[in-house]
């Protein structure tokens, strides 16, 4: 009650006061309240996992882009060596015989360097692909966590409506939707 004698309360407040004054034990309301609290707790955990997997997916995608850029840099370096090799090969065709061995050494050196650069570039591309795959897996898992969280939120809303309207079929609906949420959460935890 307020100091001025004016007090407004909702249906839930009225039920709580009524139960406190009369010592009534309402199994329906108590059970629904406990289940709602448990669902809210599990929903908070699912929400956390959804956020974590979304963050991981972004981080992994960023790592993939970094590796892709490094691979691109290596391919550009490879192309530069190819151009130099081509120039040395052209020089072999146009220079005097006594200078040809010097340019042949350059051609051989560029071929060797290109082979090493190619291995490095291919390794970086493979790493980029692996990070992309990890990101895709995390996004899929994030969607599962988000679906599970949404189902639990809907079940909590159904519990509140069931509590206010005292409709047993809404309570059953709450259990069905909560079960769906728990199954989706289990699938997410199993990385399915």
64 within a domain of the structure (yes/no) = yes
8 within a domain of the structure (yes/no) = no
The gap between the terminal CA atoms of the chain, to the nearest Å, is: 53
This prediction's pTM: 0.70
18 within a domain of the structure (yes/no) = no
153 within a domain of the structure (yes/no) = yes
Range of the domain at 183: 35-189
pLDDT tens for the chain, 192 residues long, are: 455 555 555 555 555 565 556 555 667 788 888 888 899 999 999 999 999 999 999 999 999 999 999 999 999 999 999 999 999 999 999 989 999 999 999 999 999 999 999 999 999 999 999 999 999 999 999 999 999 999 999 999 999 888 888 888 988 999 999 999 999 999 999 988
10 within a domain of the structure (yes/no) = no
30 within a domain of the structure (yes/no) = no
Q: How many domains does the chain have?
A: 1
pLDDT of residue 72: 96
């Amino acid at each position: 009650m307020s100091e001025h004698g004016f007090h407004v309360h909702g249906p839930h407040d009225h039920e709580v006061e009524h139960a406190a004054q009369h010592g009534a034990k309402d199994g329906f309301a108590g059970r629904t309240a406990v289940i709602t609290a448990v669902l809210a707790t599990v929903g908070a955990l699912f929400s956390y996992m959804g956020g974590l997997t979304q963050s991981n997916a972004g981080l992994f995608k960023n790592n993939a882009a970094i590796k892709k850029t490094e691979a691109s840099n290596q391919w550009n370096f490879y192309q530069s060596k190819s151009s130099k090799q081509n120039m040395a090969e052209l020089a072999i065709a146009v220079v005097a015989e006594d200078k040809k061995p010097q340019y042949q050494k350059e051609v051989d050196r560029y071929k060797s360097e290109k082979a090493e650069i190619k291995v490095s570039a291919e390794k970086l591309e493979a790493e980029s692909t692996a990070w992309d795959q990890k990101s895709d897996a995390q996004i899929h898992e994030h969607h599962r966590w988000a679906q599970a969280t949404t189902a639990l939120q809907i079940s909590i809303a159904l519990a509140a409506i069931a509590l206010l309207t005292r409709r047993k079929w809404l309570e059953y609906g709450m259990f069905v939707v909560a079960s769906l949420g728990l199954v989706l959460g289990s699938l997410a935890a199993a990385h399915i």
